[in-house]
Structure 1
Amino acid sequence: MLRHLPLALAVLLVTLVTPPLAAAQPLVFTAIPDEDETRLQERFQAVADYLAEALDVEVRFIPVTSYAASVTAFRNNQVQLAWFGGFTGVQARQLVPGSRAIAQGVEDPEYRSYVIANRATGLEPHDGDSAPEALRGLTFSFGSQSSTSGRLMPEYFLRQDLGASPDELFERVGFSGNHSRTIAVVQSGAYQAGVVSYKAWENEVASGSVDDERVRVIWETPPYPDYQWTVRGDVDERFGEGFTDRLQQALLDMNDPELLASFPRSGFVPAENDDYREILEVAQSLGLLDE
């Protein structure tokens, strides 16, 4: 049929009926599995729906089983966008040149960790700037080995304040895998103390998962930068010029109270790679990242 039409009209028709390459490719994202997996799936599917509408592209969320797996998926281009912690974001951006931190929660530049203890230890809340000496000799659980708030920064503060490595400080050291599990193992008494993201603690308290007669917060760390959205540097080639800017703006415009509560964040603000230089330097000082 097209051979009977003028060439220009034929080209126009082909253009109209053939979807652009970008539309045929979904934007795929993931997130570090820092809390209960079912809750993560629910919250990030809602984010996928929001982004799909805002960007007019198909958006898919894929869960991962570990912090390391989120970095691997980003490196291998299985995902183009990720909600990373501070440390996993640094790892990912080093592995994928040109990738960028583009947004963070309003609370993320001043993030904190809570050291928690089973009530049977008798430990009381400690208001000092330094980690409490009373932690020495206890059994202690971190979260994931790659967690900023559940391992990296708390370990740094413990070493700095108490002058010893975790293996020297504690009778036994464990890694639960995520914040929800850390709360569970300390609450049960499997570990006497542990460290969690303050936001994860607030989430678990709000959901009714914390028994305050069995576990309590005993110390709050100094602040540090943490979570952020990081995007691969080649997304504009995949989805069209200016896509990164549109994606960043969609994240900054996310204002639905239910979506924000699921993070939980009060909103999102711009971020850039240099915001996480402190995390890079701490990770290098602990030997957790190549120089």
Structure 2
Amino acid sequence: MPLLSRLFATMLATALPLSAAAQDTLYFSAIPDEDETRLIERFSAVADYLSEELGVPVAFVPVKSYPAAVTAFRNDQVQLAWFGGLSGVQARLLVDGARAIAQGDEDTTFVSYFIAHTDTGLERSDDFPEAARGLSFTFGAKTSTSGRLMPEYGIRQETGEAPEDFFSRVGFSGDHSQTLRLVASGAWQVGALNYTVYDQAVADNAPEVETTTIIWQTPPYPDYNWTIRGDVDARWGEGFADRVQAALIGMDDPDLLAAFPRNAFIAARNDDYAPIEQVARDLDLLE
């Protein structure tokens, strides 16, 4: 499908009323962890793949924020979503029967990077960078697992202090790409972001890597996941959720996988994200 047609279909889907979900189109969304243009390019191709595999129309619906992705899932505006660890937990708690069905092979042991502007003089270490005390620091989105939840948990575990007490100033950039840009520009001295975004920037020889350096990485944790509503079998037929799971796990096109980027997708269960739910409760980030 031409890009303009995809964009038009996407814009139309965002304007559909809640009752549209009752039609035969499967709508899915994703947390906006990167620029919207890149997300539309990534997930429009995924929609084409799923439509062919499942034999039903599939459309990608972009959203403006992490909470908006959870709300769309709760309100049945989308029936499938690519969530982060925390947003997936939030969505499943709001929708009876919702379940995680797939994750990237890398998502079982995901990490966050702490990066610093080169002018700080900080260097990479296996130990938490105590020398960053008193510098300015930015998270990503407020409900991002890799951009906020686990970095904050790491700060508290390693220092015994809240981020606001350890750093001179704390902010939220909104997404991983923006965190990288802001630290690279010197607007913030230190930031935390999804490791795949930084590694991709290095692979692309992005200019931002010239003025930033990795100074620490968190211990591994479970992160991104595909989550599906519990009522899809009633709508598209018995076993439909399992068919979606099989289609995702069977996705082996290098171009599609590189868009995430992931080497492969594997099966996931709700229980895989129990550690994320516990950390979120410890930090009072769940209602």
Q: Same fold (TM over 0.5)?
A: yes
* Structure 1 counterpart of 2:36: 37
Over aligned residue pairs, what C-alpha RMSD do you find? 1.3
Q: How does 1:17-166 map to 2 (within 5 A)?
A: 24-128=23-127, 131-166=128-163
Q: 1:109-162 CA distances to partner (integer Å, 9 max, x unpaired)?
A: 10000000000101011123xx22112101000000000000001100100101
1:238 and 2:239 aligned: no
Equivalent of residue 272 in structure 2, options 260, 270, 275: 275
* 2:176 matched residue in structure 1: 179
Match of residue 167 from structure 1:
164
Pick one of 257, 260, 263 that aligns with 2:254. Answer: 257
SS class of match (1:102): strand
Cα distance change, pair 24–77 in 1 and its aligned pair in 2 (3 A): closer
Worse-matched range after superposition: 92-101 or 208-217 = 208-217
TM-score (norm 1): 0.90
Unaligned residue ranges in structure 1 (runs of 5+): 1-21
Q: 1:274 to 1:214 in 2, by over 3 A?
A: same
Structure 2 partner of 1:206: 203
3-state SS of paired residue (2:209): coil
- Code of the residue aligned with 2:218 in structure 1: it is T
What is the CA-CA distance between 1:211 and the residue it aligns to?
3.2
Aligned equivalent of 1:193, options 178, 190, 193: 190
SS where residue 141 of structure 2 aligns? Answer: coil
CA contact (8 A) 1:180 1:204 kept: no
Q: Distance in 2 between matches of 1:168 and 1:24?
A: 51
Aligned mates of 1:204, 1:69 — CA distance in 2: 27
Looking at structure 2, the residues matched to 285 and 48 of structure 1 have their Cα atoms a distance apart, in angstroms, of: 36
TM-score, normalization by structure 2: 0.91
The whole-number CA distance in structure 1 between the counterparts of 2:38 and 2:58 is: 19
**CA deviation map 1:223-265 (0-9, x unaligned):** 0000000000000011111100100000000000000000000
1:9 maps to what in 2? none
Match of 2:171, SS state, is strand
Is the Cα contact below 8 Å between 2:34 and 2:177 reproduced in 1? yes
Cα deviation for residue 202 of structure 1 reads: 1.6
What letter corresponds to residue 90 of structure 1 in structure 2? V
The CA distance in 1 between the partners of 2:264 and 2:242, in whole Å, is 18
**Post-superposition CA distance 1:9-45 (Å, at most 9, x none):** xxxxxxxxxxxxx995100000000012111110100
Q: Structure 1 CA distance, aligned partners of 2:29 and 2:257?
A: 17
